[in-house]
Structure 1
């Protein structure tokens, strides 16, 4: 990956440098989130909450992709309200991670 200074010089302006910095920041945040999800999956398997269903790194990528893509198709006032969609996604994520049935979203809801 080129260094910021070289990239900005090639692009020729300060705006490009700021865009580069933002892109790098978002990539780093995405990597941190991916590692966090992997650790949560590992902990769930270790404690018996989840049954291994796939490689944890792959499963983390699948879950993150699913969560980030919702912004492409979700529209307020559609079939799902935000709370209903969050509940559905929670159940799907738990099932994908191999959580034992039955899955109750209320079990995971904040008090």
Structure 2
């Protein structure tokens, strides 16, 4: 028996010991959850989808649903009241486009703050 054989035998024994003594949460499900966590940037599936949902809701004109989704109800009501005098002016599309951007930006910051506070 050579040196390399005894070395590989010791490595095999150590590996068997580690596998036997490893916690039960080292399963394929745990590996899948780690992969999902890495894909979503550690904020989870909801944190990854939240800005997209806020943007889609903000695309609905006149209602400013993206701001309501981000729990900024006063901002949504203010913009709703502001759009009434601007309804037939050229500024209304600008405030609508800005609300879409603001809903996305606020949701991204909310996800970032949540992940920072959770860490």
Q: TM-score, normalised by structure 2?
A: 0.29
Higher helix share: 2
| Structure exhibiting the larger radius of gyration computed from Cα positions | 2
| Superposition TM-score, scaled by structure 1 size | 0.31
